[in-house]
Amino acid sequence: MKMKRIFATGISQESNSFNPLKSTYDDFVIYRGQEFRDTPGLKVLIDAGFDVVESIWPRAVPGGTLNFEDFKRFADEMLTPLEDDRKGFDAVFLPMHGALDVEHIGSGEAYIIARIREIVGQDIPIAAALDMHANIMYGAADAVNIIYGYRTAPHIDVAETHIRAAELLVRALNEGVTPRTKLLRIPYMMPGENMMTSSGIGKEIIEKLPLIEKHENIWCASYFVGMAWIDCYQNGAAVVVSGVGDMSGGIEEASKLKQFVLDNRSRFQYQGNAMEPEEIIDFVKKHSHDRPVIISDSADNKTAGAAGDNAFMLDMFLRSGVENAVFASIIDPEAIERVKSQKIGDVIDIEIGGAFDQGSKKVAMKGAVIKNITLGLSNENSKNLFEDKPRSCVLNYKGIDVLIFDKRKPVFDESTLAEHGLSLSDYNILVVKQGYLSPELLEAAKHSAMALTPGNCNQKIERLTYKKIRHPMYPFDEA
């Protein structure tokens, strides 16, 4: 018997359409060949005895909307093997994020899925593994037979999710059935920070998914929080169920979950301290004897796609006279360009911030001292999204050290500080650009708080201007 063939491709980036800096082709790392075949989902398919034909899987850390020409280049390359052998496949496997925003066309995933369906027809199963922060479209749900999403935030089940989606695709092929997907949209948008899955309402929601899966003919159920910082029609939360035949029992259970979410809206809260920026200064003054105090500048969160160039909090700290703090980091390629020709110990007059976003605050530092310069670390060929090291410098100004990068890279832990000549133990206060703190920094902090700053990832989404979302939508149309 002829070996069944599965086509695999995908594209993963979480977009932030409020970041004016568009993402481009070069922001992506492209997995191909053996590297893609070694990922957990593809391994399941290969180990199950299928002939897996993979194209590319471009991945990037969160960023601004992807420019159309570059997306089109990815899409064409992704679909080449399928175009070359239009009827040669028995199934399609797609590891995706689900919140890729593309200039002019909106959802990148919806475009890819629609093109795949156009090529392969209606009869072969397509399975997608998605991030919990995906915004799901009706079109994509209708066209994909199996949709399965992460069940943890912060995400620690990425591999398990890809494995389960692949296993369900194997099941569909082995049983010779074509599952279908039902989407129940929830008119509710919120920042991901309002739903952690280790406790509270987030945990309760995730615990209800197996109850849906207990119903007859249901293969899997997923809950999607959505990605709030994209101005798009498909934004919002959703319950998604995949299965075969009569799925009515599971769909009814899923409707109960939808209602549970709407009825419990007031319970979606931040898990730790969250406060307006003005309150942060008092907070750090109160706790700085019991260090380290770690503050996240939440609206400039690079891990949710913000530009990372806002010196708003730095300006606030400087004006308040707080000292012995380190800011890690602010993205400013021009500043790195200027510092490059100087040496450690030199004193310069420099302006930091607002490199990309007109709305980001700039801060003038007259007489800043150069403490550290790390050049030539940028690795253009780096295959790991998080291994790439930007060029950096550290400037000291009025008792505050500022770590500056030439390109967007998140700071997750103390090792990133160490790579740039800094040690957390030297400071009372660390300010990072995250939403909820990474587990490593949360562990390291004696006290921590999220500052509800203005910017691309404003936690108070009501303060941003959306033009494309559906209405009614909570919290915008709260009665």
Contacts with Zn ion, residue ranges (CB under 5 A): 131, 133
Query: Helices (H) and strands (E) in the chain — how many of each?
Result: 13, 23
What separation in angstroms does the CA of 373 have from each of 113, 164, 327, 391?
45, 45, 15, 8
- Residue 440: CB minimum distance to Zn ion, A: 18
Parallel, antiparallel, or unpaired for β 101-102 and 91-95? Answer: unpaired
- Residue 303: CB minimum distance to Zn ion, A: 9
Please identify, using beta-carbon distances, which residue of 179 and 202 lies nearer to Zn ion: 202
- Residue 437: CB minimum distance to Zn ion, A: 15
For the four alpha carbons of 451, 457, 459 and 462, in that order, the dihedral sign comes to positive
Please identify, using beta-carbon distances, which residue of 131 and 253 lies nearer to Zn ion: 131
- Residue 305: CB minimum distance to Zn ion, A: 11
- Residue 177: CB minimum distance to Zn ion, A: 30
Query: Cβ-closest residue to Zn ion?
Result: 133
Please identify, using beta-carbon distances, which residue of 131 and 414 lies nearer to Zn ion: 131
Distance CA 320, CA 140 (A): 50
Lookup: tokens for 122: 């209606």
- Residue 41: CB minimum distance to Zn ion, A: 17
Please identify, using beta-carbon distances, which residue of 31 and 436 lies nearer to Zn ion: 436
122: Cα within 13 Å, side-chain hemisphere? 2
- Residue 329: CB minimum distance to Zn ion, A: 22
Q: In what order do the strands lie in the sheet with 91-95?
A: 51-54, 5-8, 91-95, 126-130, 146-149
- Residue 404: closest CA among 347, 338, 454: 338
Cβ–Cβ contacts within 10 Å for residue 374, how many?
17
Please identify, using beta-carbon distances, which residue of 15 and 329 lies nearer to Zn ion: 15
For the four alpha carbons of 181, 182, 188 and 192, in that order, the dihedral sign comes to negative
Please identify, using beta-carbon distances, which residue of 108 and 243 lies nearer to Zn ion: 108
For the four alpha carbons of 266, 268, 272 and 274, in that order, the dihedral sign comes to negative
Please identify, using beta-carbon distances, which residue of 133 and 180 lies nearer to Zn ion: 133
